[in-house]
Structure 1
């Protein structure tokens, strides 16, 4: 069954459209500060998964006026955009969402400040709800994202474990999903806050692992960024570690000497693809993410039936089936 986001977002269509407008406005405000041509910049509007999860979770706990949470959803998308901007500086990325990354349009210094600006605007929006715990949770989320990157920044692939990959995915990606899912329940003082947090955490880890897999299996034009960029940037992701653990000693030596952290030519790409297929890396990763998806859905099944819950379940399926 082919899932598309427009159908999944149907119950929150008006609210998610407002989020998209608000995000674009803040994005343009940031670009205006440094006189960037909007047509050259990466697009602000992505899939809007985090605000969608936030809005659908609000509906799933019985919130009647979903538009009340437009600012909340916008804040989570801005935090996500800020993390992408900072990531592009760290990774020296040149493409983002099919356009030039901000650090190629600006210098790195301005791009980092741009990311900081987005964080500030997000916190400002959270203040609308006059909920101290909400703001503390968001700040802790940003801290965890940074801690995850810092903790594993210099760890070599030889010393990486599957548990390390899971913890990194949880900190850098899943915490934002978890906070987006549980924050409406926090504001409403709903007893299902922890249930929604666990849902967001599990589907967020699955999202990151699929992202990591697509880096090895999807075309650049569909990805919106160069294929094999994780390998070129010497990142240890779960699919890369899974491949590493299955390589022979001779293959590992070749991988370290000519591929990992290097600019990869056509011959090396073919070698990679052959071994990804031979060692069934995609199959292993899809089994792993399927378990995470089912755990996330199990949490959602504790909620009362509603169109919002149905869309959250469909979103779980979409996240593990997506192509970019």
Structure 2
């Protein structure tokens, strides 16, 4: 599996801005760490089909730039104070600089795809970014509301699934496989599983490991799968009095007691097992299978 140290080094190398503030912002964001799961997925899918995957590295870096840009913009939209256990970039550099810095990350990603990819790779990643943007707007409009399971998956399929889909699809494409559209669908399932686990951990995770307080989604008025999965067992008036309000801790504990977290983890496994069943058919898939399992086994 590709080394994180190499990825982090390349991410700083390819950033190469002319304005010092953009570099400072990039370094600060990179130093916050991250799993780099999206670029690693792209590289490992490529390796299943090709022995030479060096050419996919700039595209893998580009996909992480897009992810980083979305996080920077999210923190401005949410008014976040922390990210991965540190003061968020918008607090350090200001909202205006962070929004424009995020724009630079997006632009650099597209430049990398134009230079090192091909037209189909540009189309796949552009499709994902359009899906991401629309779903984030949908999420914003749902703040403070109890939403349906259908709407929840519409949100996370775009917010998280689309970039996982592009990562795996571009990996297959650059590895020479004609099955890149199939891998787009598989990546969507992996992204679903990833977000489901994120939402479960928001209820029961370790604050030290997560780098943020548990119950953050309830505090922000975001209705996620743990709550949705047990909503029929709750009195809606009682929920409304606590959702996004001071009594949210009581609501969080009630969701846990009713099995909302277990329901969420079980659904995550269902999604990723479908992906593993498909991936396992290919030679040299063991590393990728292990990576997919780690998506749902993680604690942060």
User: Hey, what does 1:175 align to over in structure 2?
Assistant: 162
Distance in 2 between residues matched to 1:95 and 1:215, nearest whole Å: 15
Would you say 1:312 and 2:288 are equivalent positions?
yes
Distance in 1 between residues matched to 2:56 and 2:48, nearest whole Å: 13
User: Hey, what does 1:290 align to over in structure 2?
Assistant: 269
Would you say 1:321 and 2:297 are equivalent positions?
yes
> TM-score when scaled to structure 2?
0.91
Asked if 1 retains the 8 angstrom alpha-carbon contact of 2:63 and 2:163, the reply is yes
User: Hey, what does 1:218 align to over in structure 2?
Assistant: 205
Q: Relative to structure 2, which stretch is displaced further, 86-95 or 21-30?
A: 21-30
Residue 45 of structure 1 and its aligned partner are, at CA, apart by: 3.3
Task: State which of 53, 78, 95 in structure 1 corresponds to 2:41.
Answer: 53
Distance in 2 between residues matched to 1:37 and 1:140, nearest whole Å: 27
Task: State which of 253, 257, 262 in structure 2 corresponds to 1:274.
Answer: 253
Aligned Cα root-mean-square deviation (Å): 2.5
Would you say 1:103 and 2:90 are equivalent positions?
yes
Aligned residue runs from structure 1 range 1-324, under 5 A:
9=1, 12-13=2-3, 17-25=5-13, 29=17, 32-33=20-21, 36=24, 43-61=31-49, 63-155=50-142, 160-256=147-243, 260=244, 262=245, 264=246, 268-269=248-249, 271-303=250-282, 305-306=283-284, 309-324=285-300
Asked if 2 retains the 8 angstrom alpha-carbon contact of 1:215 and 1:227, the reply is yes
Residue 38 of structure 1 and its aligned partner are, at CA, apart by: 8.4
The CA deviation string for residues 106-155 of structure 1, in whole angstroms up to 9 with x for no partner, is 22111111111111111111122351121122122111101011134223
SS of aligned partner of 1:46: coil
Asked if 2 retains the 8 angstrom alpha-carbon contact of 1:95 and 1:226, the reply is no
Number of matched pairs: 300
Residue 31 of structure 1 and its aligned partner are, at CA, apart by: 8.6
User: Hey, what does 1:6 align to over in structure 2?
Assistant: none
Describe the shift of the 1:139–1:52 C-alpha distance in structure 2 as closer, same or farther (beyond 3 A): same
Describe the shift of the 1:29–1:323 C-alpha distance in structure 2 as closer, same or farther (beyond 3 A): farther
What runs of 5+ residues in structure 2 fail to find an aligned partner? none
Asked if 2 retains the 8 angstrom alpha-carbon contact of 1:50 and 1:73, the reply is yes
Residue 54 of structure 1 and its aligned partner are, at CA, apart by: 0.4
Residue 192 of structure 1 and its aligned partner are, at CA, apart by: 2.2
Describe the shift of the 1:141–1:35 C-alpha distance in structure 2 as closer, same or farther (beyond 3 A): closer
Distance in 1 between residues matched to 2:25 and 2:142, nearest whole Å: 39
Residue 236 of structure 1 and its aligned partner are, at CA, apart by: 2.0
SS of aligned partner of 1:226: coil
What runs of 5+ residues in structure 1 fail to find an aligned partner? 1-8
